[in-house]
């Protein structure tokens, strides 16, 4: 891809890599969110009135009640052993305050000093005395009715409860904002802290979106778990972070501004707006510039694909339904063996394996996973499928061939990917430490030539909000080794900003299908850091063989390009380095460049 300065472009054209990112249709923009005041604990409760003290106790299936007069009242004591009927407008109060016990004693004295009672009345008095003894020796005296719970677990008296004094004493909500494993609320943090939303009394399952707001301003709308936000621009002092959580059942009301910190459409009354107050310590505030991490050396290039361990069980499949069932029930150590034939549909692997017991899907080239149409989604989707191996079979007829999201330590070996609408293989959304080796790609970009990469790593910065939760898509240390790539309409390998420490080695490129759409004009377009591009060979590029670009400051640097055989055939360079004075890319003189209209390199080799 040749770099063109903004001044050279016609108004309205896209900058390099401001393209859509080859994913699903754009989401509807989020409406602004105003943080919601925290509800005070006990809000809405009314003080209990100074009602006559009452004692109720269940015994032998009946309830006996003794009522004492108000201590300040001159009303005579009723002769009815059961006492006068309680005032329906007042709320009973647990005896235990000093006034309550004093009044109850007066009542008992009156009962004992009155004219002789019938036997039933005497029995009732004895029963009441016994019950009072249980209450006195079981619970003791409650001198402060404003503190503690009543006998039924409710309020002990008429005083409203007070808000909790510390974060640790707050009741657990549906979800919690944490730093590491500690609640954010009440913490002192430094700039750059990452805050995550974790499950409290509710699961994160079904959460469609989390909108984070800092001090009243929306900073991120995250649609993909894990839900987290990095706070890079903070001043010293106090701040409030809120998270508005949308689940499936309140999708219809999401556009409205919430009016309180509680509610949600599930009727539970639990909050769907979570707030945390925190402080940035003195000397840790200010704005942190957007910088890439320090470049670490990439791993050594793989020279051979490690063999799969012996399977713990083998599942033989020959139909689409059998394949779907095997994928849904996959467990570590499974080998899903594909018989030759066509498996129509879109298939998902999302049950992780382990290093010692990966999940393997294996077939010959005659086992064809067919998405049915070049507009039809992902033919095979690895979604959180750590330690999977896909070996030998063919993928065709989908918008995208193989998509890997949040997938680590996967091996993609000797697949054939052909006839897809956009890119053939895409490692995205924090997918790291994967190996793509021995794959044959032929026939991409059938619906959009500018999106027809053979192999795509990471996410364009313009799509970080949509596909990586507003964070840099650190799909790191991936290795693209020994693949045969032709018939692609965009780049052969497109490496995005935000990715670090990978290897592209031993691949064969034929760029005769590159159309130039969407600035695609090279075999390899490199915008990450610390990659090694070595021992590749290529023919037929419309402009340059290998390019680097700086799309985001701090990225597109620290890469080493060596030992490649580049028969360009275009008007550009064998290797074209963008912003060479501002980056630390190394171009080795060991590259062999022929048939490049502008010469081997635009920088001095070393």
315 part of a folded domain: no
In this structure, the answer to whether residues 79 and 206 fall within a common structural domain is no
Q: Is residue 82 part of a domain?
A: yes
Contact 410, 355 (CB under 8 A): no
Per-residue pLDDT at 193? 78
Same domain for 367 and 459: yes
Q: Is residue 340 part of a domain?
A: no
Same domain for 442 and 589: yes
**Among 264, 287, 310, which residue terminates a domain?**
287
Same structural domain, 37 and 64: no
Does 407 reside within a domain?
yes
Residue 148 belongs to a domain:
no
| Tokens matching residue 508 | 């064969």
128 and 204 both lie in a single domain: no
Mark which of 287, 317, 340 sits at the end of a domain: 287
**Domain presence at residue 162:** no
Which is nearest to 1 in space by CA: 523, 601, 532, 605? 523
Domains in the chain, number: 3
DSSP labels, 26-76:
PPPPPPP-PPPPPPPTTTTPPPPP-PPBEEEEEETTEEEEEEPPPTT--PP
Res 97: pLDDT = 44
Verify that 37 and 61 share a domain, yes or no. Answer: no
- Domain check: are 265 and 373 in the same one? no
Same domain, 37 and 104: no
Residue 246 is predicted with a pLDDT of 80
3-state secondary structure 278-304: EEECCCCCEECCCCCCCCCCCCCCCCC
What is the maximum alpha-carbon separation in the chain? Answer: 125
> Angle CA(209)–CA(212)–CA(214) in degrees, nearest 5?
170
Domain of residue 268: give its range: 31-41+167-287
Residue 574 near residue 601, CB atoms below 8 Å: yes
Q: Are residues 135 and 194 both part of a single domain?
A: no
How high is the mean pLDDT in each 10-residue block of the chain (606 residues)? Answer: 37 38 42 38 38 38 39 40 41 41 50 50 60 52 37 35 38 74 83 80 76 80 75 79 76 36 39 81 44 59 89 99 98 99 98 98 99 97 98 98 98 98 98 98 97 98 90 96 98 98 98 95 98 98 98 95 98 98 96 98 97
* Pair (454, 589) in one structural domain: yes
Place of tokens 């309140």: 250
C-alpha 45/C-alpha 50 separation (Å) is 15
At residue 140, the pLDDT reads 40
Q: Are residues 174 and 88 in the same domain?
A: no
Tokens of 351: 């049950």
Q: Would you state the structure tokens that stand for residue 319, as one six-digit string?
A: 């139909």
pLDDT at 297: 65
Looking up residue 526, the CATH number of its domain turns out to be 2.160.20.10
For residue 372, tell me if it sits in a domain: yes
Please name the helix (run of DSSP H) or strand (run of DSSP E) that holds residue 122, with its range, or none.
Answer: helix 119-139
Say if residues 585 and 576 touch (Cβ distance below 8 Å): no
Residues in the chain: 606
Kindly report the CATH number assigned to the domain that includes residue 250. Answer: 2.60.40.10
CA 551/CA 310 separation, integer angstroms? 44
Helix axes 119-139, 98-113, angle to 10 degrees: 160
Question: What are 577's two structure tokens?
Answer: 């380095």
Tell me, yes or no, whether 541 and 421 share the same domain. yes
412 part of a folded domain: yes
Report pLDDT for 126. 66
**Residue where one domain finishes, among candidates 224, 255, 287:** 287
pLDDT value at position 281?
A: 66
């Amino acid at each position: 891809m040749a770099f063109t300065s903004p001044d050279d472009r016609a108004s309205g054209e896209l900058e390099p890599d401001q393209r859509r990112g080859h994913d699903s249709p754009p989401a509807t923009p989020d409406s602004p969110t105003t943080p919601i005041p925290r509800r005070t604990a006990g809000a809405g409760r009314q003080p209990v009135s100074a009602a006559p003290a009452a004692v109720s106790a269940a015994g032998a299936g009946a309830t006996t009640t003794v009522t004492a007069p108000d201590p300040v009242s001159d009303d005579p004591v009723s002769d009815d052993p059961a006492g006068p009927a309680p005032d329906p407008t007042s709320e009973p109060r647990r005896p235990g305050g000093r006034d309550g016990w004093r009044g109850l004693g007066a009542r008992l004295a009156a009962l004992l000093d009155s004219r002789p009672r019938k036997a039933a009345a005497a029995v009732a008095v004895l029963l009441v005395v016994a019950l009072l003894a249980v209450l006195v020796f079981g619970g003791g005296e409650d001198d402060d009715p404003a503190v503690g719970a009543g006998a039924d677990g409710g309020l002990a008296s008429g005083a409203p409860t007070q808000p909790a004094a510390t974060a640790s004493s707050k009741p657990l909500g549906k979800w919690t904002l944490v730093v590491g494993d500690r609640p954010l609320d009440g913490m002192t943090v430094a700039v750059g802290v990452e805050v995550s939303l974790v499950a409290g009394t509710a699961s994160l399952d079904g959460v469609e979106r989390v909108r984070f707001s800092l001090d009243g301003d929306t900073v991120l709308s995250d649609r993909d778990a894990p839900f987290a936000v990095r706070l890079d621009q903070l001043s010293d002092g106090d701040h409030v972070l809120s998270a508005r959580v949308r689940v499936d059942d309140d999708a219809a009301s999401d556009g409205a501004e919430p009016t309180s910190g509680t509610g949600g459409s599930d009727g539970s009354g639990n909050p769907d707006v979570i707030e945390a107050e925190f402080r940035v310590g003195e000397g840790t505030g200010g704005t942190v510039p957007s910088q890439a991490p320090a470049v670490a050396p990439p791993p050594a290039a793989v020279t051979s694909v490690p063999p799969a361990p012996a399977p713990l069980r083998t599942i033989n499949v020959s139909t689409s339904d059998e394949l779907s069932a095997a994928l849904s029930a996959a467990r570590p150590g499974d080998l899903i063996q594909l018989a030759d034939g066509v498996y129509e549909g879109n298939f998902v692997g999302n049950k992780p394996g382990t290093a010692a017991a990966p999940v393997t899907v294996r077939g010959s080239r005659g086992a064809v996973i067919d998405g049915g149409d070049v507009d039809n989604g992902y033919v095979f989707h690895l979604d959180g499928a750590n330690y999977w191996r896909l070996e030998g079979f063919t993928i065709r007829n989908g918008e995208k061939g193989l998509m890997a999201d949040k997938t680590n330590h996967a091996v993609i070996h000797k697949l054939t990917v052909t006839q897809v609408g956009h890119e053939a293989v895409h490692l995205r959304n924090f997918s790291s430490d994967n190996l793509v080796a021995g794959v044959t790609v032929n026939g991409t970009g059938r619906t959009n030539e500018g999106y027809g990469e053979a192999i795509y790593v990471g996410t364009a910065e313009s799509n970080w909000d949509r596909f990586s939760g507003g964070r840099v898509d650190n799909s790191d240390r991936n290795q693209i080794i020994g693949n045969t790539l032709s018939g692609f309409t965009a780049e052969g390998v497109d490496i995005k900003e935000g990715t670090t420490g990978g290897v592209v080695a031993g691949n064969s490129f034929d760029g005769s299908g590159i159309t130039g759409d969407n600035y695609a004009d090279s075999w390899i377009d490199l915008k990450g850091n610390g990659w090694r591009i070595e021992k590749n060979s290529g023919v037929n590029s419309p402009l340059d063989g290998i390019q680097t670009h700086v799309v985001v400051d701090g990225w597109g640097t620290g890469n080493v390009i060596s030992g490649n055989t580049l028969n360009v055939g275009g008007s550009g360079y064998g290797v074209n380095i963008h912003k060479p004075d501002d980056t630390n890319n190394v171009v080795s003189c060991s590259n062999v460049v022929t048939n490049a209209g502008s010469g081997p390199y635009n920088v001095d080799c070393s």
